[in-house]
Amino acid sequence: MPDAPPPTSVPPDAQSQHDEALAHLFKMSTTSAGGQEYVAINATSIASVLIGVASVLVFLSDVLFIVPLAGLVCAIVALIQIRRSSGTQTGTAFAVAGLVLSLGIGGFKLGQKLLISHEANKDTVVIADILQRLGADLHSARYDDAYDDFFSPEFKREVDRKTFAATFQQLQNLAEYGPIEYAKWNGEPVNYDEIGNSGVKDATAMAMVKFKRNAMSARPLFVFSNRDGTWKIDECTFFQTKKKKKAAQ
């Protein structure tokens, strides 16, 4: 039988060219059709933009503050992921946009809430002062001063000066009550309600009125209004006004 032909050896140069071709083929698998390195867009960065836009929902409810917070977290995570990707991921612009949207919308709403809270705190100080001064006038039987200084024109249209004084005199003549020692705000949150877009607000506050012969303080509700530029008492549970009659029906 004829001898088998000896195996053909591959010249070193040919082997080198073959290995280079394989390496080039592998490299082509990670490139785009245009021959450029393929770079993926980071999915978290896209999510941060979408959540950033959805941050406007925070104006519907304070509970939805979680939306801009989630957008902020996604944006930060995306920026970290892109930085650590060694150039294989992009999307920095999306992440920055999501960061700006979440911070901008959420920050604006938070600032608005802080401003409202600050204004409410200032108003509460004024209302607490009115109730304390009212208590001092009632304690000293200065009914005319209390009526003139602390009650609104609306209240005065329904409760005249004589009825006002007589009501507190009758309360203090009751055996179980006795003289008024003091009145003050009870410390519970004052409820504010803005009337449309007029800038006029109502405020409902609970007071503590201490009578000398009663161990327990009375807790009447007072409704205030700033319609005339200063806080005045519109309603008080010691008096039956038209508003209270309508609400009870």
Cα 228 from Cα 225, distance rounded (Å): 8
Count the neighbouring beta carbons within 10 Å of the beta carbon of residue 214: 15
The strand pair at 221-225 and 232-236 is best described as antiparallel
Question: Of the candidates 66, 68, 90, which has an alpha carbon nearest to the alpha carbon of residue 78?
Answer: 90
Question: Rounded mean pLDDT of the chain?
Answer: 84
Q: What is the mean pLDDT of residues 171-179?
A: 91
Q: Which of 4-13, 49-58, 224-233 has the lowest mean pLDDT?
A: 4-13
Same domain (yes/no): 208, 128: yes
Of 114, 143, 171, the position where a domain reaches its end is 114
Task: Tell the residue number behind the tokens 């770079």, with chain if given.
Answer: 39
Residue type, 207: A
**Mean pLDDT on 180-207:** 90
Tell if the pTM clears 0.85, that is, is over it: no
The pLDDT > 90 percentage for the chain reads: 65
Averaged pLDDT for residues 38-56 = 91
Give the structural domain span for 184.
121-248
69 in a structural domain = yes
| CA-angle at 174, arms to 173 and 180, nearest 5° | 65
Higher pLDDT, 44 or 20: 44
Query: Residue 187 and residue 40: Cα distance in Å, rounded?
Result: 58
Judge whether 17 lies within some domain.
no
pLDDT digits (tens, 9 = 90+) for 65-77: 999 999 999 999 9
Q: How far apart are CA 98 and CA 76, in angstroms?
A: 9
| 16 in any annotated domain | no
Number of domains observed in the structure of the chain: 2
pLDDT at 116: 73
Note the pLDDT of residue 29: 44
**Residue 10 resides in a domain:** no
Average confidence (pLDDT) over 106-111: 90
